[in-house]
Amino acid sequence: MFTGIIQATGKIENIEPYGDDVRLSINCGELDINDLNIGDSVAVSGVCLTVVKIVNRLFEAHVSKETLSCTVGLESHKPVNLEKALRLSDRLGGHLVSGHVDGVGQVIRFEELGDCWQLVIRAPNQLSRFIAVKGSIAVDGVSLTVNNIEKDVFSMNIIPHTLEVTTLKNLGIGSRVNLEVDLIARYIDRMNQWNNEGGLA
């Protein structure tokens, strides 16, 4: 589990084909990796990956064909948001994030709004029912609060600090982003579906 509070930005240094999958070599940037071990989980732009090798300031992760098919940002040499897995003793500054991407959205507007920036994204239609005003959503692994939603389009205000310490500052119109909806919304939806299917009978 993660919180959506980005600890550092890194960069994908190498992408090596591995059958139908790939093996990534990721530069950790300023991320503290003194306590990082083989088998640990790291969220890479919102995607939970398992560390399979650590060399100096780089760690390697195996990424399956399935993960590549439903995410963006892992297929090219580019900056990525990094967050180590949550410990039970850590503060939950954002919201509970699993690192399991629900879908890919597209930026349709990103502009200054006073001291902040407004980020507007079109979500896949099947995800829209999970997005609520004042609810939480992870965008490329960053925990954000939804300010408005109309049909499949939702908006958030991004404070200067968040822009400074994440890759969100690199977004533009047409950029594609990993989206993970709130866990609670997902479970409520499933319970309602189960009830409607006669699960209580």
pLDDT at 194: 85
> What average pLDDT score do residues 80-85 get?
98
Percent of the chain topping pLDDT 90: 85
Q: What is the pLDDT of residues 146-164, one digit of tens each?
A: 999 999 999 999 999 999 9
Give the C-alpha distances (Å, rounded to integers) separating 60 from 15, 35, 100, 111, 143: 10, 16, 19, 35, 25
pLDDT category at 50 given cuts 50, 70, 90 is very high
pLDDT at residue 187, as a whole number: 84
Q: In the prediction, which pLDDT does 138 show?
A: 98
Which fold does the domain 103-192 belong to in CATH?
Elongation Factor Tu (Ef-tu); domain 3 (2.40.30)
Contact predicate 28/60, CB 8 Å: no
200 pLDDT above the threshold of 60 = no
**pLDDT at residue 123, rounded to an integer:** 98
pLDDT of residue 165: 97
Judged against a pLDDT cut of 70, whether residue 201 lies above it is answered with: no
Architecture category of domain 8-84 in CATH: Beta Barrel (2.40)
Domain residue ranges of the chain, discontinuous segments joined by +: 8-84, 103-192
Which residues 6+ apart lie within 8 Å of 164 measured at CB? none
Segment 104-127 shows an average pLDDT of 96
- The rounded distance, in Å, linking the Cα atoms of 108 and 120 is 6
Question: One fold for both 8-84 and 103-192?
Answer: yes
Mean pLDDT of 129-139: 96
**Element housing 189 (H / E):** helix 183-196
- The mean pLDDT of 25-38, rounded to a whole number, is 95
- The mean predicted confidence, pLDDT, of the chain is 94
